[in-house]
Each structure stands twice: as C-alpha cells, then as structure tokens.
Amino acid sequence: MAVLPSKVTLVDVGPRDGLQNEKQTIAAEVKVELVDRLTDAGLRNIEVTSFVSPKWVPQMADAAEVMARIRRGPGVVYSVLTPNMKGFEGALAARADEIVVFGAASEAFSQKNINCSIAESIERFRPVAEAARAHGIRVRGAISCAMGCPYQGEVKPEAVGYVAKLMKDIGVQHCGVADTIGVATPRATQAAMQAALKHYELADVSGHFHDTYGQAIGNIYACLEMGISTFDTSVAGLGGCPYAKGATGNVATEDVLYLLQGLGIATGIDLARVVAIGQWVSGILGRKAFARAGNAIAAKLAA
C-alpha cells in the first residue's frame, strides 16, 4: 500500500471559483462573510476573488471591495486571480498574499477564457510573475483543461508538461493542475500530474478537480498515492467556469475533509464548521449544497 501524506493543505476556492459562475449578483457582504467564516473554520489558504475584466466576469467586479473588507487571520494566505499586469496592480493595492496566473493546456480554451494563445498568455504572465516576486508575493499557476477540454476534447499529458515548463521558466512557484470539466479518471489524473512533476517539486504541485463526472474524490486519492498534498476544493461544491459550459462545481471541501479524516490525514480544518458554512451559503444561493458528506452530516445533526 502506498504511503499517503500525513498532512494535506486545502485551498478553498469557493469565494472565487465558486461564486464567479453564479448568474445572480451576490452582495460583497456575503462574499466577505464567506471568506471570514472559512478563516474561522481553519482554512489557511483561501482564494478570495479575481482581478479580471468585469466585462468578462461581472461577478468579480467587486474584487477590491471584498479584499478590503475581509478579516485576515494570522498566517492565512488570501489569494486572487490576476491574468495580466492590470490585474496584478489591483492585487497589489488589495494586499493579496498570493496571486494566481491561469493558463491552459488547450489552445482553444486559452482563447475562450483569456482571449490569447498559450504562448501569448505566458508573455503576459512573465511581467506579472516578475513584479510579484519583486514585491514578495507568491505566484501560483493554474493549468486549465489539463485532462480534457470542452472545445478540443482530449488533452495529452505532454501538453500539461509543456505549459508547466513555460510557467517554471518565468518564475511561477507553484503548479496547479486543473480538470476544468471534471472528466478525468485516476490513471489520467496521475499521468497529468506526472507531467507537471517533471518540472515542479512534489510540494509545489496541486490538484484542482471539478466534479462533473463524480470522479474527483477518486482522483484526489490517486494524487495522495503519488504524495501530492495540496488540493483546491470548494465549500458546498460551488463552482464552475463561465467559459466551460456544462462543467459543474469543484469537489466539495466537506467531502474531501471527510475523506482525509477517514484516512487519518491532518488538515487543521474543522469539518463540522465547514459543513455549517456549506449549508449557510447554499441557503443564500437558494439550493441544496453539492456536498455529499456535507449534506449527510447536516441531515444527521438535524435528525
């Protein structure tokens, strides 16, 4: 049996990936309360918002306001997405602890999501990564469509390796490998991760799984077997990308916590509190949480 990591870091991307796809405008105060509650539940890395064009993603137009109003916990990393220098300037003014440049392993998705080719995106990220490092801000990279693309279909691990190398070359410190449309199965996941691991250390690679086909927990377990110990998750399974139609939310933080708790892997996060947050935010959005373990635990408590 593979030795699994004894500790795992979860990055809750709910406030950003989760809410960016919501059709109804969500008040800044709800976003702030969501981040604050996640801080209180023990999350140590929270993806708060995106400094992107409000014409492209209107829901993130209040990025500066949300960042200004959150209550920052000691040692907690509050990250934001920055596609270009304009985004970086917003992130810097907002005192983000970490920025995320987001590219893709698929040319078609790169065009749809950020309106440029993969090579052009790297040229846009280069000054962003340089400026971030000059200001002591950590730079994380996300590689979308690493295991399948809504426009071009299959994506080969070599394409992931190609983008990972380009990101490494421009000084991106961490490589997040993303299954944007949630199609991957465990072996395909391991192949994509292996491609990123050719260029990044084990501690600097993470998995980001949307759960469209219900494979995310299996894929995370496959990553744990490889020693990968950082994952993006989203409270209540919120999430989706406006430029990946049909893709559902990220794997729920509650479900991953339940898995990790069962495996005896420490996270420092309070599952019961995250369950309560998931139920609360789903109530505000007017629907049931997309969190299997979360809903089961909530139902048991209510009984």
Comparing CB distances to ligand HMG, the nearer of 94 and 297 is 94
- To the nearest 10 degrees (0 to 180), the angle between helices 157-169 and 186-197 is 30
- Residue 53 binds ligand HMG (CB under 6 A): yes
Residues involved in catalysis? 241
Of residues 84, 215, 279, 295, which one binds ligand HMG by CB under 6 A? 84
Comparing CB distances to ligand HMG, the nearer of 113 and 253 is 113
Find out whether 224 and 190 touch, Cβ atoms under 8 Å: no
DSSP track, 195-211 = HHHTTS-GGGEEEEEB-
- Residue 211 binds Mg ion (CB under 5 A): no
Exposure string over 230-265, b if 16+ CB within 10 A, otherwise e = bbbbbbbbbbbbbbbeebbbbbbbbbbbbbbeeeeb
Phi/psi-derived region of residue 227, left when phi > 0, alpha when psi is between -120 and 50, beta in every other case: left
Neighbours of 123 (CB within 10 A): 12
- The CB-of-22 to ligand HMG minimum distance in angstroms stands at 13
Find out whether 90 and 49 touch, Cβ atoms under 8 Å: no
Of residues 8, 77, 99, 114, which one binds ligand HMG by CB under 6 A? 114
Per the listing, tokens 């691990």 go with 157
Comparing CB distances to ligand HMG, the nearer of 11 and 197 is 11
Residues 181-210 that bind ligand HMG (CB under 6 A): 208, 210
Task: Give the x-and-dash track for 205-234 against ligand HMG (CB under 6 A).
Answer: ---x-x------------------------
User: Which segment (16-24, 223-231, 272-280, 291-299) binds Mg ion by CB under 5 A?
Assistant: 16-24
Find out whether 31 and 277 touch, Cβ atoms under 8 Å: no
User: Which segment (9-17, 31-39, 93-101, 166-174) binds Mg ion by CB under 5 A?
Assistant: 9-17
Comparing CB distances to ligand HMG, the nearer of 44 and 124 is 124
Residues in the chain: 303
Find out whether 36 and 29 touch, Cβ atoms under 8 Å: no
Comparing CB distances to ligand HMG, the nearer of 166 and 276 is 166
Find out whether 141 and 108 touch, Cβ atoms under 8 Å: no
Of residues 52, 129, 147, 188, which one binds ligand HMG by CB under 6 A? 52
Residues that bind ligand HMG (CB under 6 A): 17, 20, 50-53, 55-57, 81, 83-84, 86-87, 102, 113-115, 142, 144, 178, 180, 208, 210, 241, 243
Residues that bind Mg ion (CB under 5 A): 17
